[in-house]
Amino acid sequence: MAENRPRVLVTGGSSGIGFELARQFAESGHDVTLAAQEVDKLEASAELIRERAPDVAVDTIAADLASEAGVYQLHRELKAQGLVDIVCANAGIGSGGGDFTETDLDQELRLIDLNVRGLVQLSKLVARDMAERGEGRILYTASIAGIMPGPFEAVYAASKAFVRSFGEALRNELADKGIHVTVFMPGPTETDFFARANMENTPAGQAAKDDAADVAAQAIQALQADRHAALTGSLKTRVQGQVAKWLSDPARAAVHRKQTEPLDREGQDSGGLGPAAIGGLFFVGALAAAGTAAWLQSREEPARRREPKADFEVAGR
């Protein structure tokens, strides 16, 4: 690693948004360390990044971040590589495909171990390192699903609500130690998430999705701008995130269900809020959010309008 190059850790860096975060950081002159469990996929992804960014160091650490031992292993190997300036806590899995009585408990417990327990453990270790030297940045991958209750992916949505709340709390708590924390919330993105979560047979699973490279670019921009939180992805995704803020929890759950309920279950009771009511709420909210979007975009300098942006924050800075 070059003395004057910052270094970035990306967990879940072998595919999807994590891979794009690592690639874009590398191409902008950062040394990167990718961490994931599948060794072959991890090394193949690292080699692709080396081809795109031959002048930086691209290292890998194979570890199971759903296990306590795996997180400690990652931290030991990371410290052996030297200082880490930015930690992208991106590793996570989903779980769906049925209602809570039908989904796999072992998969959901592993989801909690990776998305929540492992994230807290890694955050504790790297935050202490950063606090010791008085600087550092942490980027958390939450989800638009973390803004609302998530029927048919209840454990996943709750885990991402935890990430969002946890990241916001640490941002406030650790600011005086020189640690900057940003949370970003993508919507449905073109990755292997839906296949691995058993959610391909859902409206969200079959719909067009956001590009992982765009999502990553907006997340990096939010981190560099020191935003506390940002919705990332297409205008549609960001508007949906804004709309969700305006609805009650029952309405949010009903809207979410329309995207995550398996298609072979459609037509069953959706919890007391009919399709017309859901559509009306969403339409009114979308109009208001679209107006906000236009106003926000009109304030951007002309030179920056062409760049990927994360215009919609969940709350004021």
Q: Which residues are catalytic?
A: 156
Q: Is the dihedral of CA 222, 205, 164, 293 positive or negative?
A: positive
CA distance 75 to 68: 11
Contact 170, 213 (CB under 8 A): no
| Buried residues in 136-159 as b, exposed as e (16+ CB within 10 A) | bbbbbbbbbbbbbbbbbbbbbbbb
* CA distances, 95 to each of 2, 15, 24, 171, 260 (Å): 40, 18, 28, 28, 11
Q: State the Cα torsion 147-150-154-160 to the nearest 10°.
A: -20
| Buried residues in 269-278 as b, exposed as e (16+ CB within 10 A) | ebeebeeeeb
Question: What Rg do the C-alpha atoms of the chain give, in angstroms?
Answer: 19
